[in-house]
Chain A
Amino acid sequence: MQNQVISKKDLAGFVDELIKTKAAGEVIGIKSQDGKYNFGPLKKATDLRLDYDISLLPPKKYFFPQMETVLKYEAGKTPKIEAVAAEKSMVIIGVHPFDIRGILLFDAVYGGNNPDPNYFLKRNNSVIIGTDCLNPNPKSFAASMGTAVTEDGFDLMLTDIGDNYFITVGSNKGDQLLKKHARAKAASAADEEKRDRTRKDALKKYKVTLTLKPEDIPQLLDTTWESKVFNDKATTCLSCGSCVMVCPTCVCFDVQDDMALSLKGGERYRRWDSCMLTEFAKVASGENFREHKEQRFRHRMYRKGKYLVERYKYLGCVGCGRCAIACLAEIASPAETYNLLKEVK
């Protein structure tokens, strides 16, 4: 697989070709929406905004939708039950490296001993065309999390190197798509140098910095359980769950039943859930194992910085900054909390 360069015009041609031929399924792309950016179905290449800073929601929603039906049933004396999963082929264009790191964590969580078909019937049928983030959001700290650049998890990765896009080819699937549908040419050593310089320059644009090495976070958290930082921070927490709802690495869900109006049957669906909501760890007896907001706040920080790494080898924070943008109380940024914990313990 040889890396390529493509002119901006030809990239647009490639994208329009994908839209027209549906060669890799529905084309999803990053678009501008009411002054912000979001992923959505792409109608034409010119709607793409590869220069964006951050999308409102991470692209995980295409593999793990906000709500997904997992069972259909007919009620009655002998219920008929059917397990279902929505299968979909997609090409998602414009995914930032840190969001790709989030998807890799999802692959680990939803795979493993009990692989989840509802996730993989979408994930495995999708093509990810990433784009390096050259205009990071002021709340993002991906550079210091080591997630601003990724070497894997994509089929193609686009880097805006001026007149052209550099295309790092990450899979055969990506390679084939390019060969069939794009007018790209082999990248030279000079192009590659341009890509590396562009990436390096972008790293300098991040405004928020984690002041410790990300791999040291689990160890830091070994000694901070009793820290007053959690209580101080959580005092203004609204327990609204917004930080979790926008997070590219938050994997938890709730399961609910919905009976049809006819009462003849219904569906069971799962939907995104949040450990920051008051009732998340409550059991039937009324006992709530994380009753207080500082417990939930701490749990979120530990889950991201320690539990997930220990279980799946991936940190549960990729530094995108969405939680910090979404949080009305301005307390959600993990970088801020980890930095503070490092200082005051």
Chain B
Amino acid sequence: MVMQLTAKQSIHLPRLAELTRVDTLSKREKVFEFKFDDGKELGHKPGQFVELSIFGIGEAPISITSSPTRKGSFELAVRATGSVTNKLHTLEKGAKVGIRGPFGNGFPIETLKGKDILFVAGGIGLFPLRSLINYVLDKRKDFGEVTTLFGCRSPIERLFINQLQEWNACKDMCFLETVDTCPDDSWKGNVGVITTLFTKVSFDPNKTYAVVVGPPIMYRFVIAECLKKGLADDHIIMSLERRMKCGVGKCGHCQINGLYVCQEGPVFTYAQVKSLKEAV
């Protein structure tokens, strides 16, 4: 006998949300704003993720890019790369999707309170980190010195350009940007991989936490720079990517050794990750 399950019972039932705004960020990336049909908030913490459903296509884990301090809606910034995300890119305002979550632990806000923070974002690692950066800016007096480093491959791959300008002009935060390479003279800023920005910043390693999100290759080099600057292993915070199918610790897809990224993560300290194999 097939039974209908309530939202409370089912681990698979999404809530309906309406696409209320779409902005193109670059060739492959767009940001989508959603509101729940039931008018409720997502109720997330920076660093958490949702499972996004497009009915008939499937479900995919997506990090939340908006800060919970900005109420009424939430944003997902998404690169078109798989079947769900490519379909999402074709949707227009008014379209309905399903949302499950938020899932995962999120960034350790309580630990960061009163501390200096060094944000390091590589490419679309900016998407999950933007949630925390804007959270910190909205609650600025709860935190110490804040520095943000952002790097991407080339000027045309820069994301959230208006936001980057805002941050650049923001007196509450030191913001530095670089591109790996620039084929022409369209870019007047720093050129070089993100670690080249480390020579331009100084911080007190004892009261600073680095929060790093980027592709696996970036972690290797950025962590080495952080350690060189004297940051302790547990002062380096990172967010790991996995393809969570369920979000509730059952399906097995997000395991790193014995950990479930959807349960114990996706945010880990380097102290935790360092002893794990196959983490990055």
Binding site for B on A (CB under 8 A): 69-71, 73, 75, 77-79, 81-88, 109-110, 112-114, 116-118, 121, 225, 251-257, 259, 263, 265-266, 268, 270, 273, 275, 280-285, 287, 289-290, 295, 299, 302-303, 306-308, 310-311
Nearest CB in chain A: distance from B38 CB, A? 13
Query: When the two chains form the complex, which single residue of A78, A83, A307 contacts B12, counting CB atoms closer than 8 Å?
Result: A83
B4 and A78 form a contact (CB under 8 A): no
Cα of A303 to Cα of B59 in the assembled complex, Å:
26
Is the pair B256, A289 in contact by a Cβ cutoff of 8 Å?
yes
The docked-state distance in angstroms from the alpha carbon of A280 to that of B245 is: 11
Which 10 pairs between the two chains have the least Cβ-Cβ distance? Answer: A252-B252, A83-B10, A307-B258, A83-B13, A114-B248, A259-B56, A70-B12, A83-B5, A284-B81, A257-B58
Chain B interface residues (CB < 8 Å from chain A): 1-7, 9-14, 16, 37, 53, 55-60, 79, 81-82, 85, 96, 98, 215-216, 241-243, 245-246, 248-253, 255-258, 263, 277-279
Given contacts A284-B82, A289-B278, A290-B278, contact A255 B250 (CB under 8 A): no
Looking across the interface, which residue of chain B has its beta carbon closest to that of A110? B250
Most buried by B among A109, A254, A295: A254
Alpha-carbon gap, A78 to B241, bound state (A): 31
Task: Choose one: A79, A112, A256, A299; the contact of B249 (CB below 8 Å).
Answer: A112
Most buried by A among B12, B58, B60: B12
Inter-subunit contact A113/B3 (CB<8 Å): no
Q: Within 8 Å CB of B243, what residues of A?
A: 281-284
- A85, B13: Cβ atoms closer than 8 Å: no
Tell me whether A85 and B16 are in contact (CB under 8 A).
no
* CB proximity of A328 to chain B, nearest CB, Å: 24
A85 to B5, CA, bound (A): 7
Cα of A284 to Cα of B5 in the assembled complex, Å? 31
Smallest beta-carbon distance B19→chain A, Å: 12
Query: Can you offer 10 A-B residue contacts whose CB atoms are under 8 A?
Result: A75-B55, A79-B96, A88-B1, A113-B263, A114-B11, A253-B246, A275-B252, A283-B241, A285-B81, A289-B242
B contacts with A: majority SS: loop
Interface centre among A110, A257, A280 (most CB of B within 10 A): A257
Contact check: which of B6, B55, B248, B258 meets A73 at CB < 8 Å?
Answer: B55
CA distance A258 to B191 in the complex (A): 47
Q: Is the CB of B11 within 8 A of A225?
A: no
Instruction: Collect the chain A residues with CB atoms within 8 Å of residue B241's CB.
Output: 283, 285, 287
The residue in A69, A263, A270, A310 that gathers the most chain B C-beta atoms within 10 A of its C-beta is A270
Once the chains bind, are B16 and A84 in contact (CB under 8 Å)?
Answer: no
B10 near A257 with CB under 8 A, answer: no
Please, how many angstroms separate the alpha-carbon atoms of A69 and B82 in the complex? 23
